[in-house]
Amino acid sequence: MVLTFVPQTTDQVEDQVKAQVASEVTGEVAGEVTGEVQRILEALVNSPMTRLEAQKSLGLKGQANFRDRYLQPALSTKLIEMTIPNRPRSSKQRYRLTEKGREWLDSYRKGIR
């Protein structure tokens, strides 16, 4: 058996590691994203929204249903985040996509999901 050593630059190794980690993280999240979470990601793609704005944009009336089936799962998987995390009940609170949420949505739109 002959082993050959192929030298790689730090950038090449870093790119390989990033790609591997991204695919693992994306795979983990894919199993956790429901249709409801996908809908809220689509709603928040252009700009942050208040809870009420997001709820209305999805045509939903029940606050508890929206919170339990849309908002909390998206927050817990870190696909969206609060704009004022230290004041979750602020009247100025908005929700926005995280980088992870944007990556998931991009791969979904490309048909990878």
Those residues whose C-beta lies under 8 Å from the C-beta of residue 14, and which sit 6 or more positions away, are: none
Q: How many structural domains is the chain composed of? A: 1
For residue 56, tell me if it sits in a domain: yes
Q: Which helix (H) or strand (E) holds 14?
A: helix 10-30
For residue 87, tell me if it sits in a domain: yes
Q: What is the CATH number of the domain that holds 66?
A: 1.10.10.10
For residue 11, tell me if it sits in a domain: no
Distance of CA 46 to the CA centre of its chain: 14
For residue 95, tell me if it sits in a domain: yes
For residue 1, tell me if it sits in a domain: no
SS3 100: helix
What's the chain's average pLDDT?
85
In this predicted model, what pLDDT tens digit does every residue of 9-54 receive, in sequence order? 666 656 665 555 555 544 455 557 999 999 999 999 999 999 999 9
- The confidence band for 68, taking pLDDT boundaries of 50, 70 and 90, is very high
For residue 47, tell me if it sits in a domain: yes
Domain span including residue 90: 35-109
